[in-house]
Structure 1
Amino acid sequence: MTKFMLKCFGLVTILLFGVLFGIQKAHFEMDELKGTSLESVESNSTPSNEQKESKQNSASVTSHDIKAKQETLSKIDSFNVFSALGQRLTSWISSAFGVMISIFGVIISEMLAVFSP
């Protein structure tokens, strides 16, 4: 019994550290995607000439440019195998649970009809 408990404790400990490591890695990668590293914070505190020019150029962007970009983004259709499999699996599970709930509803209503006077 003690061997079993030690093995379970060891597995739980390994899984806990794995989860904590994954959360930490995801946090750092999200920071990289957002660009919130210390270097970018320091560079943002002192605006350069390029940043001032980009602010002036952003004011000249028209709604036509934005609409053109939205159209090109809507035309781009990237296919992701895992996303497609996930959507199919989700729809299958949803329909299966819907059928199970309806079957349980019918069974319960029949049981109530049998036991009611």
Structure 2
Amino acid sequence: MIKFMLKCFVLCSVLLFGVLFGMQQANHGLVKMKGYEDPKLSSAFEVKNDASGELEASVLGNTHNLEEKQQKLEDMEAFNFFSQLGKTFASFASAVITGLISFLAGMVESLFQ
């Protein structure tokens, strides 16, 4: 199962980069066909430093400030009821399974002594 998931992840990653590479090549083809640099034609994917030294990513012409987005995600401390409920259920299920396994191990150990 792990090998299958790894293969799927690698395949999806290769396909994603293939699509981005194809978009970049199409952009270069359009620039060559026009014969001049058009500022409206942007690259498919571009990462660069801005004037203040922060990283900026541009995906399909939309510019994103990476540090600003990361800081915004770190500052956001939203409470998700279903996430908390899932964590509680997972810890409860883990405790029950651990107790059941230790109980069964104790019974098997007492049978062999």
Normalising by structure 1, report the TM-score.
0.46
**Structure with a larger share of its residues in helix:** 1
Larger radius of gyration: 1
**Structure with a larger share of its residues in strand:** 2
